[in-house]
DNA sequence: GACCAGGCACATC
DNA sequence: GATGTGCATGGT
């Protein structure tokens, strides 16, 4: 194993250990059912989770938080229910696109969907308009328990700030780091991503000067 | 009032 | 292929 590879591997493991030691297990994803996780994954696109929760509550109250429920209601009605999550018109269409896909390919059954090999599943989910790489991997990992690492804005920011990666690395290049250097374990990927979001929300703000982090006594970085 | 939040598709060059 | 833009609410 070459030096760079070894460094990246050690660094990724070290970050995880520091985060886990500080925050403990996160018990993700916040969703009662796999279907709720999928809906949440679409609604949370570029959106604060607190707003997504309001939209989810509206869907539950309207008894629409099932494949059949979302299939039945109109796109317009759906948009009204999910309004608090923002981008409600486009997200209503995206949810409808996913539902159409679910019924066309799997008769509306998540159980059937889960049986698909992971590589095939990812490719097919990505073909749904409105489902990009992060949403697809969130679905694979948190709804279906497949070992797909979820790369989000926090992941990229954290790794950039700690000079593990360059700013210009794209989604799949970043994901590849986790897939190549760490064991592909679903629970581990689940916990790792959840911890990144936790530290990101609290301490890793967009302001590039913001390094305040409880994991370093001097408050600057995870490790220096 | 400005800035931010667990993206994505599409237009344009 | 790179870069820019629209989509929108609610909390700080």
Which residue in A133, A50, A42 sits closest to A88, CA to CA? A42
Contact, A94 CB vs strand C, < 7 Å: no
Residues 6+ apart with CB under 8 A from A92: A75, A76, A78, A79, A82
A220 within some domain:
no
Last residue of a domain, one of A111, A143, A175: A143
Domain boundary among A94, A124, A143: A143
Same domain, A21 and A93: no
How much is the pTM?
Answer: 0.94
Task: Give the CATH number for residue A129.
Answer: 1.10.340.30
The whole-number Å distance from A133's CA to B9's C1' is 13
Domain that holds residue A87: 34-143
Instruction: For residue A16, give the 3-state DSSP assignment.
Output: helix
Distances (CA, A) of A201 to A25, A48, A194, A206: 16, 10, 11, 10
Query: Same domain for A194 and A124?
Result: no
**A41 CB neighbours strand B below 7 A:** yes
In-domain check, residue A118: yes
- Domain match, A21 and A60 both: no
A145 touches strand B (CB under 7 A): no
Domain identity same for A88 and A128: yes
**Shared domain check, A39 and A138:** yes
- In the 149-208 stretch of chain A, whose C-beta falls under 7 Å of nucleic acid strand C? none
Between A65 and A22, the higher pLDDT residue: A65
- In-domain check, residue A104: yes
Residue, of A29 and A133, whose pLDDT is higher: A133
Residue A213 domain flag: no
**pLDDT tens-digit readout, A93-147:** 999 999 999 999 999 999 999 999 999 999 999 999 999 999 999 999 999 999 9
Residues A23 and A38 in one domain: no
Is there a domain that residue A116 lies in? yes
pLDDT for A223 beyond 50: no
Across all strands, nucleotide nearest A94 (CA–C1'): B8
Is pLDDT above 70 for A182?
yes
CA A48 to C1' C12, in angstroms, rounded, equals 12
The total of structural domains in chain A comes to: 2
Last residue of a domain, one of A108, A125, A143: A143
Structure tokens at A79: 């948009």
Instruction: Give helix A153-161 / helix A171-181 axis angle, nearest 10°.
Output: 70
What is the three-class DSSP state of A86? coil
């Amino acid at each position: 194993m070459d030096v760079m590879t070894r460094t990246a591997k050690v660094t990724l493991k070290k970050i995880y250990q520091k985060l886990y030691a500080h925050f403990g297990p996160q018990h993700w994803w916040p969703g009662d059912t796999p279907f709720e996780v999928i809906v949440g994954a679409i609604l949370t696109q570029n959106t604060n989770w607190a707003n997504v929760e309001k939209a989810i509550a509206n869907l539950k109250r309207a008894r629409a938080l099932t494949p059949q429920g979302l299939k039945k209601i109109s796109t317009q009605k759906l948009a009204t229910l999910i309004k608090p999550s923002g981008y409600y018109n486009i997200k209503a269409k995206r949810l409808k696109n996913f539902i159409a896909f679910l019924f066309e390919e799997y008769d509306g059954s998540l159980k059937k969907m889960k049986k698909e090999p992971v590589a095939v599943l990812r490719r097919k989910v990505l073909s749904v308009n409105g489902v990009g790489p992060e949403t697809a991997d969130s679905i694979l990992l948190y709804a279906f328990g497949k070992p797909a690492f979820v790369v989000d804005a926090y992941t990229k920011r954290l790794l950039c700030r700690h000079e593990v990666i360059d700013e210009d690395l794209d989604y799949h290049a970043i994901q590849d780091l986790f897939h190549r250097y760490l064991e592909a374990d679903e629970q581990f990927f689940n916990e790792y991503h959840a911890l990144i979001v936790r530290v990101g929300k609290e301490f890793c703000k967009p302001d590039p000067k913001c390094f305040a982090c409880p994991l370093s006594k001097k408050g600057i970085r995870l490790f220096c």
